[in-house]
Amino acid sequence: MSDRQKGIIPAIAKVFPCVEHRFCLRHILENMKLNFRGKAYKDLLWKMATSTTDMYFQNAMQELQKLNTEAHVWLSKIPPKHWSRSHFSGRAHSDENKIITGIHGYTLMKFTSFDEK
């Protein structure tokens, strides 16, 4: 899991070619808040991240577009395969996929990024 640092994504892909790389939702939210503030944005981002189907994800994206077209464009640039459950491959298996509290008290969603088989 990362904050989308430029060099880390290709480095992880090279060293761990079979690993599904996921982005930290807290970091996406913090970056989003630089331009788009408010509970509505946080709630929609969380709704998209926890969506279990593409249909639910797309519905939440449409809600964001209605709320703010610029926010929708901004978020659309981040591939959902890295941060939304609806787009995860299903290759990562763990009982650890649950909501946790991070070290700074933020509510995070913990997803494993490896196959435990």
Query: How would you class 14 by CB atoms within 10 Å of its CB: exposed for 0-12, middle for 13-18, buried for 19 or more?
Result: exposed
- pLDDT tens per residue across all 117 residues of the chain: 445 556 777 787 788 787 777 788 999 999 999 999 999 999 999 999 999 999 999 999 999 999 999 999 999 999 999 889 998 877 655 434 444 444 454 544 444 444 443
User: Which tokens hold the place of 91?
Assistant: 């290759």
pTM of the model: 0.69
- Going from N- to C-terminal start, the domains of the chain cover 24-90
